Every structure is written in C-alpha cells, then in structure tokens.
Amino acid sequence: MRAAWVGVVLALAFGNAHAAGKIVVGVALPRAQLGQGNGANADVAEPVRQALITYLKGPSVEVIPLEARIPQHMAAEAQEGCAFVLYTDIEQQSKGGGMKMLKKLAPLAGAVPMMGGMGNMGATMAAQAVAQTAMQSQMEDAQEDAMANAMAAINGAQKNAVKAGDSLTLNYRLVKPGEEKPLITDALKGKAKANGDDVLSPLIETVAIAVVGKVTEK
C-alpha cells in the first residue's frame, strides 16, 4: 500500500511540475566512497538526499528522488522527465587519517510519516478542488516532517560518530541527462571543532544554493 502511494505521489509530482512549467531536478542516492565495503553508506544516504530535496524544492523547481542505483539505469530514468540530475558523494576522514562512515545514522525509511488518503473525490469541480487542496496540504506537511526527521538523523549520527578534528567532504556534480560533462562540480569540506559538531548541514545547504542558482539561471 505504501509503495503504491509513493508511486502515485511521484507521478503527480512529474505531472504537476510539467504542467506548471517547473524545472525538474532528479537527485540520485548519495554514495559513500570509503573503501570499506561494509554497506554502511545505506544508513547515511536517504536522510542526506531528503535534506537536499527539501532545500532544492521551490516555486520554480520540482525535485524527485531517482530510484535507480547503477549509472546506466539512472541515466535512463533521468531522461524520462528530468532537466538536471544531482549526484553526491559523502566522505568522512578521522583525525588520525583513516576513512570511516557515519555508521550510527538511523535510516530515514520508516521515519517519514505516511501521508493520509485523498478523501472522497466528489463528482463536482468544487469537490475536486477541495480534495486537491487537502492533498497538497498533506504533501507539504509530510515534506516538513521528512526534513525534520532527516536532519534529526543526520545530527544524531554526527553526535555519535564525529569527533573533534574529523573532516567531512560532500562531493557533488550537476549534469544534464545524456551529457557527461558536469555543469557544476565541487568538493565541499568541513572540519569538526568539537565532538558531535554538525558539519554536514552547512555543506548540504551550500550545495542546494549552488544547484538552484545554476538550474534557474537565464
């Protein structure tokens, strides 16, 4: 039931974005280039992506999560409706020089409240308008909840896993579907001054500002 509802929401997002003339940005699941092969990157990926999506979304920009996991499938998925695609990688380097992951980051899946049903869709235009307004309100509430949960998970992980002197790097690149050369790319770095410092949040916001500026430039 939940998967079906998510599919409906994504379909509506695509349709509403194109109808409103919005710029559609696809966001791939972040990767952790840590060289440990322990699969822990799944813990950090979804909360960071949700934070990016919430920061990026605005009056002229619609954002969707890409479900594909390998480059070929991502490219095919993006070409179905995205004007741009954002890829990100997250690295953590301990003070001693070793690479590690934010292992204790709680997954966002299951933490985002389920959005309620659309209600009884009446036959009249008035009833349809009321239902659409209600659904929009529910989606906005769910987005706010998702952002709060994502940031709580990210901050909780940093309190447990980030020590004074640790460095975090958020690599990102923005591309157009079908093109290899990125429109913008950068590696943003932050260093913890004390145990548990929130290093990631400012980096995520900086990425969002740069991406929105690029996709909306004339």
Tens digit of each residue's pLDDT, the chain (218 residues): 434 443 444 444 445 555 468 999 999 998 753 323 334 443 677 888 999 999 999 999 999 999 988 888 988 999 989 999 999 988 888 776 555 544 434 333 333 333 334 445 444 444 454 455 554 455 455 557 777 888 777 777 767 777 888 888 999 999 999 898 999 999 999 998 998 888 889 999 999 999 999 999 98
* Alpha-carbon torsion, ordered 113, 171, 184, 180, to 10 deg: -90
Number of domains in the chain: 1
pTM here? 0.69
* Domain of residue 184, residue span: 2-215
pLDDT on residue 155: 73
Bridge partners, 108 (sequence order):
none
- Return the DSSP state at 199: -
Query: Which residue type does 118 have?
Result: M
Provide the CATH number for the domain around residue 119. Answer: 3.40.50.10070
Q: Which two tokens stand for residue 9?
A: 């929401």
Residues 6+ apart with CB under 8 A from 66: 26, 27, 28, 29, 74, 77, 78, 82, 85
Write out pLDDT tens, residues 106-142.
Answer: 333 333 333 334 445 444 444 454 455 554 455 455 5
